[in-house]
Chains A and B, each alone.
Chain A
Amino acid sequence: MKNILIIEDDESIRKMIASVLEVEGYSVSAAANGKQALETLRCNRLPDIILLDMMMPVMNGWDFLDFVRGNATTARIPIIVVSAYSEIAKSVHPHAVVPKPVQLKSLLQAIEGLAA
Chain B
Amino acid sequence: VEDRKSLIKILCVDDQPSNLLALQAALQGFDYEIVEALSGEVALSKVVEDDFAVILLDVQMPVLDGFQTAMKIREIKRAQHTPIIFLTANYPSETYAIKGYEAGAVDYLFKPLNVDILRAKVGVFVNLFRAKEDIREKARLLREFEAREREREISELRQISERKYQDLVEGIHDGIVWVFNPNSQQFSYISRRVEEVTGYPVERWTLGDGFWLNRSHPDDRARVQDILDQAVEADGRVALEHRFLKSSGDIVWFRTEVHRQRYAESGRFELHGLSVDITHLKNTEEALRKALRIRDEFLSIASHELKTPITPLQLQMQGFLRMIEKGRFQSVPVETLRSMLQISDSQVSRLSRLIDQLLDVSRMREGKLAINAEEVKLSELVHDVLRQVKHELDVAECAVVTHLDSTVIGMWDRLRIEQVVINLITNATRYAAGKPVKISVSHDADKAVLCVQDHGMGIDKKDQERIFERFERAVSVQNYGGLGLGLYISRQIVELHEGTIRVISEPGKGATFKVELPCLPGQDLPT
A and B, one complex? yes
A10, A13, A15, A16 — most chain B CB neighbours (10 Å): A16
User: Which residues of chain B from 310 to 343 have any CB-CB distance to chain A below 8 Å in the complex?
Assistant: 310-312, 314-316, 318-319, 322-323, 328, 332, 336, 339-340, 343
Distance to closest chain B CB from A68 (angstroms): 21
User: Which residues of chain A from 1 to 43 have any CB-CB distance to chain B below 8 Å in the complex?
Assistant: 10-13, 15-17, 19-20, 22-23
Q: How large is the interface on A (under 10, 10 to 19, 20 to 34, 35 or more residues)?
A: 20 to 34
Is A102 interfacial (CB 8 A cutoff)?
Answer: yes
Contact between A13 and B332 (Cβ–Cβ < 8 Å)? no
Question: Once bound together, how far apart are the Cα atoms of A15 and B319, in whole Å?
Answer: 13
Question: Once bound together, how far apart are the Cα atoms of A20 and B336, in whole Å?
Answer: 9
Which stretch from B100-108, B301-309, B361-369, B371-379 is at the chain A interface? B301-309
Is A71 interfacial (CB 8 A cutoff)?
Answer: no
Residues of the B chain whose Cβ atoms lie less than 8 Å from the Cβ of A84 = 304, 307
User: Which residues of chain B from 380 to 396 have any CB-CB distance to chain A below 8 Å in the complex?
Assistant: 395
A23, A102, A107 — most chain B CB neighbours (10 Å): A23
Is B186 interfacial (CB 8 A cutoff)?
Answer: no
Q: Mark B472-498, 1 if CB is under 8 A from A, else 0.
A: 000000111100000000000000000
Question: Once bound together, how far apart are the Cα atoms of A56 and B308, in whole Å?
Answer: 13
Question: Once bound together, how far apart are the Cα atoms of A23 and B319, in whole Å?
Answer: 8
Residues of the A chain whose Cβ atoms lie less than 8 Å from the Cβ of B308 = 10, 13
Is B88 interfacial (CB 8 A cutoff)?
Answer: no
Chain B residue, CB-CB nearest to A12: B312
Question: Once bound together, how far apart are the Cα atoms of A20 and B397, in whole Å?
Answer: 27
Is B347 interfacial (CB 8 A cutoff)?
Answer: yes
Among candidates B319, B350, B395, B480, residue contacting A57 with C-beta atoms closer than 8 Å: B480
Is B346 interfacial (CB 8 A cutoff)?
Answer: yes
Residues of the A chain whose Cβ atoms lie less than 8 Å from the Cβ of B310 = 101
Distance to closest chain A CB from B431 (angstroms): 10
Do A101 and B319 contact each other (CB < 8 Å), given the known contacts A13-B308, A19-B340? no
Is A45 interfacial (CB 8 A cutoff)?
Answer: no
Is A103 interfacial (CB 8 A cutoff)?
Answer: yes
Contact between A103 and B314 (Cβ–Cβ < 8 Å)? yes
Question: Once bound together, how far apart are the Cα atoms of A19 and B311, in whole Å?
Answer: 13
Chain A residue, CB-CB nearest to B335: A19
Residues of the A chain whose Cβ atoms lie less than 8 Å from the Cβ of B344 = 16
Is A100 interfacial (CB 8 A cutoff)?
Answer: yes
Residues of the B chain whose Cβ atoms lie less than 8 Å from the Cβ of A15 = 312, 339, 343
Contact between A101 and B311 (Cβ–Cβ < 8 Å)? yes
Chain B residue, CB-CB nearest to A17: B315
Question: Once bound together, how far apart are the Cα atoms of A17 and B416, in whole Å?
Answer: 35
Contact between A22 and B336 (Cβ–Cβ < 8 Å)? yes
Contact between B336 and A23 (Cβ–Cβ < 8 Å)? yes
Residues of the A chain whose Cβ atoms lie less than 8 Å from the Cβ of B350 = 12
Question: Once bound together, how far apart are the Cα atoms of A101 and B304, in whole Å?
Answer: 10
Contact between B304 and A12 (Cβ–Cβ < 8 Å)? no
Distance to closest chain A CB from B314 (angstroms): 6
Among candidates B307, B332, B339, B479, residue contacting A100 with C-beta atoms closer than 8 Å: B307
Distance to closest chain A CB from B340 (angstroms): 5
Residues of the A chain whose Cβ atoms lie less than 8 Å from the Cβ of B332 = 23
Chain B residue, CB-CB nearest to A15: B343
Chain A residue, CB-CB nearest to B391: A11
A17, A22, A104 — most chain B CB neighbours (10 Å): A104
Chain A residue, CB-CB nearest to B347: A12
Distance to closest chain B CB from A105 (angstroms): 7
Contact between B312 and A16 (Cβ–Cβ < 8 Å)? yes
Q: Mark B287-312, 1 if CB is under 8 A from A, else 0.
A: 00000000000000000100111111
Is A77 interfacial (CB 8 A cutoff)?
Answer: no
Distance to closest chain B CB from A86 (angstroms): 14
Question: Once bound together, how far apart are the Cα atoms of A23 and B336, in whole Å?
Answer: 8
Do A16 and B315 contact each other (CB < 8 Å), given the known contacts A23-B332, A23-B336, A57-B480? yes
Among candidates A11, A19, A55, A101, residue contacting B307 with C-beta atoms closer than 8 Å: A101
Contact between A105 and B318 (Cβ–Cβ < 8 Å)? yes
Chain B residue, CB-CB nearest to A57: B479
Residues of the B chain whose Cβ atoms lie less than 8 Å from the Cβ of A104 = 314-315, 318-319, 322
Chain B residue, CB-CB nearest to A14: B312
Residues of the B chain whose Cβ atoms lie less than 8 Å from the Cβ of A10 = 308, 311, 481
Question: Once bound together, how far apart are the Cα atoms of A13 and B307, in whole Å?
Answer: 11
Residues of the B chain whose Cβ atoms lie less than 8 Å from the Cβ of A19 = 316, 319, 336, 339-340, 343
Interface residues of B (CB under 8 A from A): 304, 307-312, 314-316, 318-319, 322-323, 328, 332, 336, 339-340, 343-344, 346-347, 350, 395, 478-481
Closest 5 CB pairs of A and B: A104-B318, A16-B312, A57-B479, A20-B319, A12-B312
Interface residues of A (CB under 8 A from B): 10-13, 15-17, 19-20, 22-23, 55-57, 84, 100-105, 107
Q: A57-B480, A102-B315 are in contact. List 15 more A-B contacts (CB 8 A).
A: A10-B308, A12-B309, A12-B312, A12-B347, A13-B308, A15-B343, A16-B311, A16-B316, A16-B340, A55-B479, A102-B311, A104-B314, A104-B318, A104-B322, A105-B318
